[in-house]
Amino acid sequence: MGRFLISSSLKKMRRDHILKNPICVVFITVSICCLFVLIFSMLRLPEISLGRPYSNMINRDVLRDDELGKFVEMMVGMLPEDLAFTVFVPSEKAFERDLRLRVNHDLEGDKINNTYAILSRILGFSAIPRTLSTLTVPFGEEISYDSLSGFTLYISKVSDAMLVVNRVKSERVDLKKGKIVVHIMDGVIMDADFEQSVLPDNNEEDE
């Protein structure tokens, strides 16, 4: 019984000594805070699709004006960088394949104004006034938003690194230009009427 009392007294004295030592108190407080931050961060980690884990992380970077071509630069430049927008722009390959637009051919002389008019119409079909990254698109579900022109965009995510918008697949996703989110698409998003108006004439020979 005496040994028990002595042992209890020694433990109490050590505990009181630790609590009176400011360095020990600070160390214990910081350790507890770090533990809470770690637990909180783990609980808030975004869900990763099991299909292609972490594959999309390499596609999230900052958009440089000289990186993706003149037409993309022109389209994104029509939007204010300090406001939230998401734009699904065609790749340079899609511009040439689907619209027959070529930088060296359609940005010269009297063709410049017509090119700007086409790009502004495409921007109206493919831009929405909100931020939409791949992380905010639910996997395997389809969501819809009205574009700036009122054209409805049907958006789905088929993997961590790919969106599909009105049946057009993405090539690169989650690029940033100020507050603007840019997704590069393997095709042109537009309504049927405008598509008919810009379809190349089959009888027209390429210059």
Whether the CB-CB separation of 77 and 120 falls below 8 Å is answered with no
207 assigned to some structural domain:
no
| Residue 29 shares a structural domain with residue 86 | no
Q: Give residue-wise pLDDT tens across range 147-190.
A: 999 999 999 999 888 999 999 999 999 999 889 999 999 999 99
Q: What is the pLDDT of residue 30?
A: 61
Q: What is the pLDDT of residue 7?
A: 54
| Residue 24 shares a structural domain with residue 123 | no
The total domain count for the chain is 2
Least confident among 35-44, 95-104, 196-205: 35-44
Higher pLDDT, 142 or 5: 142
52 assigned to some structural domain:
no
What's this model's pTM, rounded to 2 decimal places? 0.65
Average pLDDT of the residues in 109-133: 90
Domain containing residue 194: CATH number: 2.30.180.10
Structural domain including 23 reads 7-43
Q: What is the pLDDT of residue 51?
A: 34
Higher pLDDT, 49 or 148: 148
User: DSSP for 118-162?
Assistant: HHHHHHHHHEESS---GGGSPBT-EEEEE-TTS-EEEEEEEETTE
What percentage of the chain has pLDDT greater than the value 90? Answer: 43
24 assigned to some structural domain:
yes
| Residue 86 shares a structural domain with residue 115 | yes
Average pLDDT of the residues in 84-91: 96
* Residue 49, pLDDT above cutoff 70: no
User: DSSP for 55-117?
Assistant: GGGGG--BPPTTTS-HHHHHHHHTS-TTS-EEEEEEPHHHHHHHH---HHHHSSGGGHHHHHH
d(CA 44, CA 33): 17
| Residue 83 shares a structural domain with residue 135 | yes
39 assigned to some structural domain:
yes
193 assigned to some structural domain:
yes
| Residue 194 shares a structural domain with residue 147 | yes
Q: What is the pLDDT of residue 157?
A: 95
Instruction: Return the H-helix or E-strand segment holding 31.
Output: helix 22-43
What percentage of the chain has pLDDT greater than the value 70? Answer: 61
204 assigned to some structural domain:
no
| Residue 16 shares a structural domain with residue 112 | no
Q: Give residue-wise pLDDT tens across range 5-29.
A: 445 554 555 555 555 566 655 566 6
